[in-house]
Structure 1
Amino acid sequence: MSNTLQAQVDALKAQHLHLQVQYQALERSLEQQSASAQRWQAQRNLDMEAQAQEHRKAAALQRTFYRIAERATADLSLYEFLQSVHALLGELLYAKNCYVCLYNPKKHTLDFPYYVDERDGDTMQCNDVPYRHGLTEFVLRTAQPQLIDATRFQALQDAGEITDASGDLSFSAWLGVPMQIQGALRGVLVVQSYESSIPYTEADAKILSFVANHFSTALERYQAIDEMRKSEERYRLVIESVGVGVVVVQDGRMVFANPALIRIVGHPLDYLLTQSFTATIHPEDVAAVVERHQRRLRGEPVETTYGFRILTGQGDVRTLELSAVKIEWDKRDATLMFVVDATARIQAEETQRIALQKQSELNDMKSRFITMASHEFRTPLATIHGSVELLLHYEDRMQAAQKRATLQRVDDAVERMTHMLENVLAIGRADAGQVQFKPQPLALQAFCMNLLDELRSAMERQYQKVCLVVDLPDPDALFLLDDTLLRNIVGNLLSNALKYSPEGGEVRFSVQEQGVALVFTVADQGIGIPETDQPRLFETFHRASNVGPIAGTGLGLSIVKEAVLCHKGRIEVHSQVGKGSRFTVTLPVSPIPHPVPTP
């Protein structure tokens, strides 16, 4: 064999040996991984089994709690209820021997409403047992679950913690847990075993504590029912004597009503008990009362107290306030209602509310008036003062035309102030109810033309900017109208149309007969009224938010509104910012026919 071939063989042998070493290492690694996987699987199985066990315990507890709640509403006596809970408890832990103890803090005594024991029997089932240093009292003193076997029992006796234990004390395991009733420590739930092969554990203590918590809630209900039954006659006497109306409604009818309710509604008891419970309720309030009543019966949230009206036996309308609660009456659902006659109080509150509202309105009006007066009177007064100063110091240098112009400014300022004062007085008369409606035959066309001439003189600059379009009735037509009030209506609407059309445009003024009414329309193409301001447009001193530097008092439209109401008419407004406003006044009126001339 050549040296080259021998070298190749040696290399292959070395490679084979190396592969064998790698293979053996791989086998060992696989064996370790397999062992690790088996250990993980075994631990996983244990964990899953523990979880399944916990789930089963939780499901069993949940079923027990549900069944305890179910028994609590099954109309059982207290002993029957406790007996059923004892049976359910046996599904969770060893509970062949079980008793319930209730602590009475007022008497400092113990009651044992349920006591079942294979050795003591039911001899320990009694009430008003003096409070001593026994096993049960030890739980009450410590307020903690207590797991006691024979060894610990002896230690507690030696320490003086338990000195007055009673009953058969040969138990191998004793477990007691405290019960909270109405927010205080008021009882103990106990199980015990006489068999050494059945010890109790901390897990059992937790389970018994969970049961005791749910059990306590049911006991609260039983105690409340028992107390209610014991004091039923006492409560009935109180209810019949109290001044508040008390009524029980069941199946849509009253099944009980006290004398106070009879006095409030003014109907005899026989009538109330034979009619629907809504028989005396005001027809407009029946639907709301019935709806709340049905919601309460369904267990839905309802207002604690609400008011409604009734019709008394004498036909008077009175306002009552009602509060109610769902109760059980003769073992069926019913509603207990407490009724108070709130008519006098509500009337007093309404009177006070109106007075306060009026006072607030007056205060607001006063504030707005002061603001308006200080602003609107300052300008004409400044004009008068400046003109007088000019005449005093420079009269000899002024030409006649300049003097006349200066005097005219004074006259215009006085006229403006007079007009404002007339508006304020008009509002004052309206608020005081002193506005009188005195219709007289009125030639409407001539009246309107005279009014337009006055506006042309008073508002010459504004008048020249607009194109006025007028449509008036026949010159000979007469109508019964109050010319003073009509002047307030038409004059203010036209002056506003001119004043709030700073860029000019068309102003239309028309009066048309429509049946037995006159329709006055004033429309402009001015700045318009913002929609948010329109609801308050006719309030005293209110001005739109977009008037800017345009002078005004905020009185004109309120005067218009009052004058329209005096005519028993109505006023409507349609406006859009930047496009103008249209006011329409409709006044009921009949024309006065002219006498036919004799031939």
Structure 2
Amino acid sequence: MLSDADLHTQLKLLQQQHQALQADYRDLQAEKQKQETSADLWLKQRTRELQAEALEQKKAETLQRVFYRIAERAAADLSFYDFLHSVHSLLGELLYAKNCYVCLYDAQKNLKDFPYYVDERDGDTLQRSNVPYRRGLTEFVLSTDRPQIINAKRLQALQASGEVTEGSGDMSFSSWLGVPMHIRGVVGGILAVQGYEPGIEYSASDADILSFVANHVSSAIERYQALDELRKSEERYRTVIENVGVGVVVIQDSRMVFANPSLVRIVGHPLDYLLSNPFTAAVHPDDVPAMLDRHQRRLRGENVESFYGFRVITQQGEVRSLELSAVKIEWSKRDATLLFVVDATARLQAEQTQRLTLQKQSELNDMKSRFISVASHEFRTPLAIILSSAELLKYYGDRLPEAEKYEVIGTIENGVQRMTRMLDRVLLLGKAEAQMLEFQPRELDLTALCRSMVEDARTQQPKATCTMETQFTDMPTAGLFDEKLLRHIFGNLLSNAIKYSPQGGTVSFRVFPQDQHMVFEVADQGIGIPADEIPHLFEPFHRASNVGDIQGTGLGLAIVKNAVDLHKGSIQVSSSAQHGTCFSIRI
């Protein structure tokens, strides 16, 4: 049995152990509390981190969605204002953007434009286009080329430093955020938002977001500017095409798919007619095969002349001569032909007139040469005879018998008459060429006149060996004719028939009615006319190459032709060398 002292000692030991256990317990409780506190803090921290991550994830998703929708709007066929309006609406999902504007800056002109401006206080009172460059918040962003967050305090500091002294609009905002927009590599504008309510405070994160949006808007602005330039270019091109004097047409699938107003004017048909019919609808039928052949060969890639002429028939039936140049092009991603068309009618007519004038001048020169040749010959011969006869009378007149003297005088008279006849014919032809030859028809006894002309022809050439035959059957007793002109016509034809029949033969003169006309035929069996010279037969001073020494001026048939024309008649010639000639006149 333990003593009291031992019991006391054991009790004290137990108390010490108890105290130690309590201390350990307290330490354990403290450690437990510490661990619980640490776990709670970690849990809260982790919760905050997860919430932040979720917020960032949501924010990133929102950014991605907004940027996608901005890109989608940029690709849509929206007006520039409608696009910016949609950007403003989407921007509100990312930050406070009740008030927003877009400014574009032209550095060359030093002017600003505001294609989009929404402000709850400024309204529509501010200038929106061609705004001068000043010292405002917009200019501050443009000059610094950095995002700028402005509150009331910073605005005062900027105003005090002189950096912002010409701000426009209501400047009592709570916070203002502007970011630069880079367009085609340079600062070309800004995107800005602002708020007037208390508590609005933009952050650096907001500036980053707005900068991202500004990049997207800048790309869209470049696209809109490019489209605007293209549109203006197309308008300028269309203005030029529609106002140029040259016809412009595009042909595809054998139809016109485009034609400018000048082509409509040149071709002389309405536009709807040209576009709704084959492209050859107005082309002259004789020119269609060649045009189709060239068109098809060009489309096949063959080598075809790019410039040629053709004719069209206008709606009024007028024939016009056109010229075109053609080239193969692509139209709406398919092969087509581009044509440039000019009206060459006036030019070709002028060229034709010029050619005729030159030809006429050449003919006049030839006629002048022939006239000089004929006149010199025709005048020289009788003048020589007259001169020799005059000298004979002068020196031997007193010794000449009367008969020979009268014969010499007769020779002089014949020479004078020959020269007079030639001058009369020249004057008569001059009148005819100048359209001064008068046509004075009257009632005539045609049979009596024809017989009289035959007798005159016999009398003028009494030494002729020809036999004259006449046939005046079924002739009217009278008719309306110009006696003077008829004598010119048949006096010349009958005289020529006799003169160019040196070997004799028969000269016939037939007159008969036919189809309400009178037909006059003078035929001979003389030397005839070479076939290649018949087209020149009625030219003044023209004489056939086979006339030899037979006298003549080459004026008679030219006078005949003019006299027949005055009667509105026609003349035909059939002849062959050495077989005779027949002139047939219908009056």
User: What TM-score range do you get, normalising by the shorter chain?
Assistant: 0.5 to 0.7
Match of 2:205 in 1: none
Q: CA deviation at 1:495?
A: 0.8
Deviations 1:23-53 (A, max 9, x none): xxxxxxxxxxxxxxxxxxxxxxxxxxxxxxx
- Pair 1:512–1:382, CA change in 2 (3 A): same
- Aligned equivalents of 1:277 and 1:236: distance in 2? 26
Cα distance, 1:446 vs structure 2:
2.4
Q: Distance in 2 between matches of 1:474 and 1:312?
A: 50
Q: Does 1:432 align with 2:431?
A: no
Go from structure 1 to structure 2 and tell me whether the alpha carbon gap of 1:531 and 1:397 turns closer, same or farther (over 3 Å shift): same
**Structure 2 contact 325–341 (Cα < 8 Å) conserved:** yes
Change (3 A) 1:263 1:493: closer
Residue of structure 2 in register with 1:563 after alignment: 563
Report the equivalent of 2:553: 553
After superposition, where does 1:5-404 map in structure 2 within 5 Å?
A: 238=237, 241-242=240-241, 243=244, 244-265=246-267, 269-282=271-284, 285-299=287-301, 302-311=304-313, 318-404=320-406
Is the contact made by 2:529 and 2:544 (CA closer than 8 Å) also made in structure 1? yes
Matched AA of 2:483: D
Distance in 1 of aligned mates of 2:294 and 2:533: 39
1:317 deviation in Å?
5.2
Taking a change above 3 Å as real, the CA distance of residues 232 and 495 of structure 1, as seen in their structure-2 partners, is: farther
Tell me which residue corresponds to 1:543.
543
Q: What is the aligned residue count?
A: 356
Report if the CA contact (8 A) 1:564-1:571 is conserved: yes
Letter in 2 for 1:256: F
Q: Which amino acid aligns with 1:480?
A: L
Distance 1:239 1:476 in 2: 74
Paired residue for 2:448, among 446, 449, 468?
Answer: 446
CA contact (8 A) 1:521 1:583 kept: yes
Change (3 A) 1:292 1:405: farther
Match of 1:522 in 2: 522
Distance 1:457 1:394, change over 3 A: farther
Shift of 1:405: 1.4
- The 1-side partners of 2:452 and 2:315 are apart by 63
Deviation of the 1:429 alpha carbon: 1.4
> Per-residue CA shift, 1:92-127, capped at 9, x if unaligned?
xxxxxxxxxxxxxxxxxxxxxxxxxxxxxxxxxxxx
Residue 477 of structure 1 corresponds to 477
Larger Rg: 2
For 1:496 and 1:314, the matched residues in 2 are separated by 50
Kept in 1, the 8 Å contact 2:573–2:582? The answer is yes
The alpha-carbon deviation at position 285 of structure 1 amounts to 4.5
Q: Secondary structure at the match of 1:460?
A: coil
The answer to whether the 8 Å contact 1:239/1:246 transfers is no
Partner-residue secondary structure (3-state), 2:278: coil
* 1-structure distance, mates of 2:528, 2:480: 33
State the alpha-carbon separation in 1 of the partners of residues 316 and 458 from structure 2.
Answer: 65
Identity of aligned residues (%): 57
Q: Decide whether aligned partners of structure 1 residues 415 and 452 sit closer, same or farther in structure 2, where only a CA change above 3 A counts.
A: farther
Indicate yes or no: 2:487 matched with 1:487. yes
- The letter of the residue matching 1:428 is G
Native 8 Å contact 1:240 1:260 kept in 2: no
User: C-alpha distance in 1, partners of 2:577/2:248?
Assistant: 60
> Are the equivalent residues in 1 in contact too, given 2:474–2:512 (CA < 8 A)?
no
Task: Evaluate the alpha carbon distance shift between residue 440 and residue 301 of structure 1 in structure 2; reply closer, same or farther with a 3 A threshold.
Answer: farther
- In the alignment, which residue of structure 2 is the partner of 1:417? 419
Q: CA deviation at 1:496?
A: 0.6
In structure 2, what is the Cα distance between the partners aligned to 1:468 and 1:268? 68
Partner of 2:94: none
Give the Cα separation in 2 of the matches to 1:569 and 1:526: 26
Once the two structures are superposed, residues 418-445 of structure 1 have per-residue CA deviations (whole angstroms, 9 ceiling, x without a partner) of 2111221222112111222211122223
Match of 1:82 in 2: none
Name the CA distance, whole Å, in 2 between partners of 1:301 and 1:386.
77
> CA deviation digits over 1:141-165, x for unaligned, max 9?
xxxxxxxxxxxxxxxxxxxxxxxxx
- Give unmatched runs, 5+ long, in structure 2: 1-229
Give structure 1 stretches of 5+ with no counterpart: 1-230, 588-599
1:511 matched residue in structure 2? 511
Q: TM-score, normalised to structure 1's length?
A: 0.54
Contact 1:497/1:524 (<8 A) preserved:
yes
Give the Å deviation of 1:493. 0.7
CA distance in structure 2 between the partners assigned to 1:479 and 1:577 by the alignment = 36
Residues 382/366 of structure 1: CA separation in 2 closer, same or farther (3 Å cut): same
Match of 1:5 in 2: none
Letter in 2 for 1:490: F
Residues 258 and 371 (structure 1), Cα distance of their counterparts in 2 relative to 1, 3 Å cut: same
Instruction: Decide whether the 8 Å contact of 2:385 with 2:411 is kept in 1.
Output: yes
Whole-Å Cα distance in 1 between the matches of residues 537 and 247 of structure 2?
A: 48
Distance 1:575-1:319 versus aligned 2 partners, 3 A rule: closer
CA contact (8 A) 1:511 1:519 kept: yes
Shift of 1:290: 3.4
Q: Which amino acid aligns with 2:512?
A: Q
Q: Which amino acid aligns with 1:507?
A: V
Q: For residue 299 of structure 1, report the CA deviation from its aligned partner.
A: 4.9
Letter in 2 for 1:564: V
CA distance in structure 1 between the partners assigned to 2:450 and 2:508 by the alignment: 13
Map Cα deviations across residues 393-452 of structure 1 (whole Å, 9 max, x no partner): 111111122122112111211221121112212221121112222111222232233323
> How much does 1:453 deviate?
3.0
- Compared CA separation, residues 472 and 394, structure 1 to 2 (3 A): farther
C-alpha distance 250-525 of structure 1, shift in aligned 2 (>3 A) = same
**1:578 paired to 2:578:** yes
Give the whole-Å Cα distance in 1 for the aligned partners of 2:432 and 2:304.
46
Contact 2:475–2:511 (CA<8 Å) still a contact in 1?
no
> Which residue in 1 is equivalent to 2:409?
407
CA distance in 1 between counterparts of 2:448 and 2:271 reads 73
Following superposition, the deviation at residue 374 of structure 1 comes to 1.0
Q: Secondary structure at the match of 2:342?
A: strand
Alignment CA distance shift 1:394-1:277 (3 Å): same
Note if contact 1:241-1:259 (Cα within 8 Å) is conserved in structure 2: no
Instruction: Please state how far the C-alpha of 1:483 moved relative to its aligned partner.
Output: 0.7
C-alpha displacement at 1:354, in angstroms? 3.2
**Corresponding residue SS for 2:531:** coil
Q: 1:265 to 1:404 in 2, by over 3 A?
A: same
Q: Distance in 2 between matches of 1:272 and 1:475?
A: 60
User: What code does the residue aligned with 1:439 have?
Assistant: P
* Superimposed CA distance per residue, residues 503-548 of structure 1 (whole angstroms, 9 cap, x where no aligned partner): 1122122222334222222111111111111121112211111111
Aligned to 1:188: none
Q: How large is the Cα RMSD of the aligned pairs?
A: 2.9
For 1:436 and 1:529, locate their aligned partners in 2 and report how far apart those are by CA, in whole Å: 31
More deviation in 479-488 or 444-453?
444-453
Inter-CA distance 246–578: structure 2 relative to 1 (3 Å threshold): same
Identify if the C-alpha distance between structure 1 residues 408 and 458 changes in structure 2 by more than 3 Å, giving closer, same or farther.
farther
